Amino acid sequence: MSLECIGYSLFANGLIFATEAPEVAITALETSETAVTVKAGENKNVTVITTPFQANSPEITVTSSDSDVATATIDGKVVTIVGVAPDTNADGEATITVSAGNVSAEIAVTVPYHAE
């Protein structure tokens, strides 16, 4: 006899074995912030919130609309946005898109202009 729950199997003899977590589809994405300001050379972390919470498939990816203004990477459910110096004499603006399959969320990024 065995009892199964997400990620573990418990057998009648008392042994517990870790099992592969079942694939749970992401049906919606949100981010902890929808707009951020980050200075050139600095970074800002934004948390991705999935529905359902334990969803793990498909993989979450990030893209930037303008990598000359801001870049982004993701580790688990944390997006790190890095400001890049705008090439103009004005604030730089970019959109970071967080995607998983056919669902996505956007983060508006402003990188303030700083005269040298």
Structure tokens at 87: 């090439």
Per-range mean pLDDT, top range of 49-58, 88-97, 99-108: 99-108
Check whether 67 has a pLDDT greater than 90: yes
Structure tokens at 17: 């074995």
> In terms of DSSP bridges, do strands 103-111 and 35-37 run parallel, antiparallel, or are they unpaired?
parallel
| Alpha carbon distance 103, 51 (integer Å) | 10
Q: Is the dihedral of CA 77, 82, 86, 91 positive or negative?
A: positive
List of E strands, the chain: 2-5, 8-11, 16-18, 28-31, 35-37, 43-51, 61-64, 70-75, 78-83, 92-100, 103-111
pLDDT for res 89: 83
Mean pLDDT confidence for 30-58: 95
Structure tokens at 47: 């948390």
Check whether 4 has a pLDDT greater than 50: no
Mean pLDDT over all residues of the chain? 87
- Using only the alpha carbons of the chain, give its radius of gyration: 20
| Alpha carbon distance 44, 82 (integer Å) | 7
pLDDT for res 114: 77
